[in-house]
Structure 1
């Protein structure tokens, strides 16, 4: 019986250590997301999504306030924060998140946070430009594959 109690105690202790780790990771993830300016980024993204939707479908313009309300409910930082904290705290240990947070607290880290959206957008533009420059090749490849598949379906 003592062995069973000791086993249960050790099991409980190991679970509580994981719970502390998870709580530490979640706390560090919240710090990271705050330092990354996720609330502001989500607000800006939400606004851009609404503008994009209205640009793609101008008939929705009279419903702009409804769309904003919908996005505020389902895409706002308040509605998504816990899920972001979860994915970051599952991807990184509390120690790793502390190290990331320490970096972002430096001048270089703050500069990284500030420049990352622009650098990512520039990288995306490079990719889009490259595809556009070579779109003819893609179209030819698709045409050749379509013809190949068509010949196979006839046989």
Structure 2
């Protein structure tokens, strides 16, 4: 009977400690989201995406007579983005990603870094760095599209030949 009581006490103590540890980590994650100003970063991302979508008008060679049609679709796209990718929807998902990938010690260290002058500088400059990186990636991807299309065509032809010979 004493062993049973001891086991129950140990289990309760362990689960309480684990819950407190989890609460502490959650508080640190929320602080990290605030220090990183992630909601503003998401807003900047939306602005960049909107600029890219507006650029689509040029890429699609939208004529002045078609502008109203384009604007209608553009407005619908923005509405969908605002509804489906709102910060309210993204925040718990992002917090969960950080929770799954970082220990509480790592979160504390990241927090400490982002509270420094260099950390704040990184946060301010990161959107521009990411935008430039995306532009480079898009340029490289555009150059590779014809090669990938040719490869896909060859694959399709080879599969058709293989299926016809069976």
Unaligned 5+ segments in structure 1 are none
For 1:20, the equivalent position in structure 2 comes to 20
For 2:82, the equivalent position in structure 1 comes to 71
Q: TM-score, normalised by structure 1?
A: 0.79
Question: Distance in 2 between the 1:22 and 1:47 partners?
Answer: 35
Residues 79, 90 of structure 1: alpha-carbon distance in 2 compared, 3 angstrom cutoff = same
Q: How many residue pairs were aligned?
A: 151
| More divergent stretch after superposition (86-95 vs 22-31) | 86-95
Cα RMSD for the two superposed structures: 2.8
Unaligned 5+ segments in structure 2 are 58-69
Provide Cα deviations, 1:18-75, integer angstroms capped at 9, x if missing partner. 111211111111111111111222334456667749x68533467689x37x835x53
Question: Distance in 1 between the 2:18 and 2:104 partners?
Answer: 11
Question: Distance in 2 between the 1:117 and 1:61 partners?
Answer: 23
For 1:132, the equivalent position in structure 2 comes to 142
Q: CA deviation at 1:150?
A: 1.2
Correspondence list, 1:1-155, <5 A: 1-46=1-46, 52=53, 58-60=71-73, 67=79, 71=82, 74-155=84-165
- Structure of greater relative contact order (alpha carbons < 8 Å, 6+ residues apart): 2
| More divergent stretch after superposition (56-65 vs 96-105) | 56-65
Question: Distance in 1 between the 2:152 and 2:76 partners?
Answer: 39
Determine if contact 1:29/1:85 at 8 Å carries over to the other structure. yes
Q: TM-score, normalised by structure 2?
A: 0.74
